């Protein structure tokens, strides 16, 4: 099966023709006037998350995932820049709660990963990267007809981000995507492969805690219409699965091999944006100009060892739930 370029976000098909993936972001705002936000935007993503600056927001509600109690199917693509899993329209997956006023529908899952284990994620935690990042892209189906319309519009998108780490075991959902029989079907740009019987709930780590901030998509045109939700526990893939990802090519078989790895955008300035969390610290911040919460008063409390995720997961002394709320209501 071949990749359909129309399934990509608008105006992104030609971004990697002339430069390797890692060289591109600094050129985005220059090569296309429609991508101007990539250079001049003030709410761009990804960002570096400093745990000492996070703000507890008591108004953040639990995330609610509604799969209708069914498994889903989707097509996995090599877009030349990402491993992308596009869900079919037969079985819908919606998410609500958290910072969301509206319900959002899952459209696509993207994988970012590095050429080395020390890099690969788009977001950083206390200045350090993870081996990869899973991004679940949702659009506001209550206000907009499709993801293309929502991407250009206020309150249009929600992206749930989950860090990836290399381990001896593998997340069951990612194991379906990254097993050898599947991943070798999308070695080259435009390759595609159908996956069936996927359980989205298996992708989420066992935590109800997250952070959130307002940002943009990390690809051109970099519309600033996305709310980001970053789960505070990672998912795991094996070293062999990470190696298989690094063997994917940006190019078609007739072209020179360029690994898809390091397909992350560098972090962007935070510009006084608030990074909120539902983790209830012993101290509580004041009002923020944008989100009824402001800079935190517990600077420097959360620097543990040299492990970037250790600092985040250690902020869980008040957590009582082991995961997000799962709903099977087909009408929710």
Q: Which tokens is 261 given? A: 């790895």
The average confidence (pLDDT) of the chain is 84
pLDDT at 281: 74
Burial 76-89 (b: 16+ CB within 10 A, else e): bbbbbbbbbbbbee
- Helical ranges in the chain per DSSP H: 28-31, 37-40, 147-151, 172-178, 180-183, 239-246, 308-313
From 148-162, 215-229, 279-293, the region with the lowest mean pLDDT = 279-293
By annotation, the residues acting in catalysis are: 144
Model confidence pLDDT, tens digit, residues 211-253: 999 999 999 999 999 999 999 999 999 999 999 999 999 999 9
Rounded to two decimals, the pTM is 0.85
Residues 6+ apart with CB under 8 A from 254: none
Backbone angles phi, psi at 142, to 5 degrees: -80, -30
Q: Any idea where the domains of the chain sit in the sequence?
A: 26-323
Give the three-class secondary structure for 268: coil
Q: What class has domain 26-323?
A: alpha beta
Burial 290-308 (b: 16+ CB within 10 A, else e): ebebebbebeeebebeeeb
CA dist 225 and 257 (Å) reads 34
pLDDT at 329: 57
């Amino acid at each position: 099966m071949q990749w359909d370029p129309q399934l990509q976000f608008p105006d992104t098909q030609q971004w990697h023709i002339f430069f390797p993936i890692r060289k591109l972001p600094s050129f985005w705002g220059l090569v296309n006037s429609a991508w101007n936000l990539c250079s001049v935007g003030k709410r761009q993503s990804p960002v570096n998350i400093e745990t000492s600056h996070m703000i507890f927001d008591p108004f953040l509600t639990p995330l609610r995932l509604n799969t209708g109690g069914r498994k889903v199917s989707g097509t996995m693509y090599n877009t030349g820049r990402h491993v992308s899993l596009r869900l079919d329209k037969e079985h819908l997956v919606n998410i609500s709660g958290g910072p969301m006023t509206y319900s959002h529908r899952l459209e696509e899952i993207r994988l970012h990963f590095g050429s080395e284990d020390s890099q690969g994620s788009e977001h950083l935690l206390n200045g350090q990267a993870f081996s990869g990042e899973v991004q679940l892209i949702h659009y506001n189906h209550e206000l907009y007809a499709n993801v293309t319309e929502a991407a250009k519009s206020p309150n249009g998108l929600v992206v749930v981000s989950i860090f990836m780490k290399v381990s001896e075991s593998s997340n069951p959902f990612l194991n379906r995507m990254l097993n050898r029989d599947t991943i070798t079907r999308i070695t080259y740009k435009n390759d595609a492969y159908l996956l069936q019987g996927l359980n989205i709930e298996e992708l989420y780590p066992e935590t109800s805690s997250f952070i959130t901030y307002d940002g943009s998509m990390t690809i051109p045109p970099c519309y600033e219409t996305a709310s980001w939700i970053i789960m505070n526990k990672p998912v795991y893939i094996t070293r062999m699965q990470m190696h298989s990802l690094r063997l994917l090519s940006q190019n078609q078989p007739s072209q020179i091999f360029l690994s898809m790895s390091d397909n992350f955008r560098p972090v962007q300035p935070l510009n006084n944006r608030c990074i909120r969390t539902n983790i209830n610290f012993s101290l509580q911040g004041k009002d923020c100009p944008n989100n009824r919460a402001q800079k935190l008063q517990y600077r420097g409390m959360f620097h543990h060892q040299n492990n970037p995720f250790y600092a985040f997961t250690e902020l869980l002394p008040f957590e009582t739930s082991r995961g997000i709320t799962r709903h099977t209501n087909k009408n929710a």
